[in-house]
Amino acid sequence: MMGFITVLIFLLVVILIVSIKIVPQASEFVIERLGKYKGTWSAGLHFKVPFIEKIVKRVTLKEQVLDSPPQPVITKDNVTMQIDTVIYYAVYDAKLYAYGAVSPISALANLAATTLRNIVGELELDGTLTSRDTINAKMTTILDEATDKWGIKVNRVELKNIIPPQEIQKSMEKQMKAERDRRETLLQAEGHKAAAITRAEGDKQAMILAAEGERDARIARAEGEAKAIFLQKKAEADGLAALKEAGVDSAVLELKKFEALVAMSNGKASKIIIPTDAVEMTKSNVVFSETTGLGDTTAPGEDDPVIPKNDPCCEE
C-alpha cells in the first residue's frame, strides 16, 4: 500500500512539473480546453491543467522572411520572365494565425505568386524592368490587406531577381553596348570641343597679356626718359642757380662758355655752331692776350747770326 501511494505521489509531481510552462519573449502559445479555444499565453510562467488543456500553436512574433522560388511570369507584350520575390512579414495575432488558415505561410506564398502575375501582366518588358519600386509597393498593399484575417502583417515585398529570356538578354546587351558607344563618342566630341575652346581662349589671353606687357614697357621707358630729361634739366638749373648764388663774375661765366665750346669741338660732329656770345668771348681773349702778352706761349725766335766782313784795306 505504501508503495502504491509513493508511486502515485511521484506521478502527481511529474504531472505538475510537466504542466508548468514558460513562454519565451516575443512568442505566444494558443491554448485549447477540451478542444475549444481557451486563450493565448504571452511571455512568462503559466500552468496548464493536465489532460484538459492543450497547447495547439506556438507562434513567434518576430519578423520572418519568405523567400519564394523563381516563377514564370508573362508580361503584356508576351515575354516570359523568371521572377522571384522576398516577403517580410510578422504575426501580430496568434489566434487568427492559428485558426485563420490551415497553412498560412503556404497561402501567403501562393497569394504572392498570383498577385505578381496580375501586376506584371499589365506591364510591358521595359516597364517591368524599370518599375521595381511600383511592383513592390502594389504587392505589399495587396498582400497586407489579404493576410489581415490570418493574423499576418506584411511589412515589405521585394523583387529579388528578374530574369528575361536569353534572346532578350542578348538584345538588351547589344542595345546597351550601342548606347555606351554613342555616349563615348559624344563625350569624346565634347572633350575635343572643350579643348579647342580652351586653347583658343588661352591664345587670346596670351596675346592680350603680351600686348599689355609691351604697352606697359613703352610707358615705363617713356616715363624713364622723361624723368631723366627732367633730372638733367633740373641739375643744370640747380648749377646755374648755385653759380648765381655764389656771385661769380662775368669773366668766370665767359670761361665756362669757352670750356663748353672746347668740349663741343671734341665730338664727332662735322659741323659746330658757335653762339655769338662765344665768338665775342674768343675775340676779347685774343685781343687781351696780344695787348698784354699774357697767355702767349710762343717762344721768341733767335736772332740771325752776324757774319763779320773782311776789310780789304787791312789784308795783306
How confident is the model at residue 250, as a pLDDT? 62
If you average pLDDT over residues 9-38, what whole number do you get? 88
Phi, psi angles (nearest 5°) of residue 250: -70, -30
If you average pLDDT over residues 170-183, what whole number do you get? 82
Residue 143, pLDDT > 80, answer yes
Torsion of CA 266, 271, 273, 278, to 10 degrees: 40
Parse the chain into domains and list their residue ranges: 2-60, 64-164, 166-224
Q: What are the grid coordinates assigned to 124, written together?
A: 510591358
How confident is the model at residue 272, as a pLDDT? 52
The answer to whether the CB of 258 falls within 8 A of the CB of 285 is yes
pTM of this structure? 0.55
pLDDT digits (tens, 9 = 90+) for 41-80: 999 899 888 888 899 999 999 999 999 888 899 988 888 8
pLDDT digits (tens, 9 = 90+) for 88-105: 999 999 999 999 888 999
Pick the CATH number of 64-164 from 3.40.50.2300, 3.30.479.30, 3.10.580.10, 3.40.350.10: 3.30.479.30
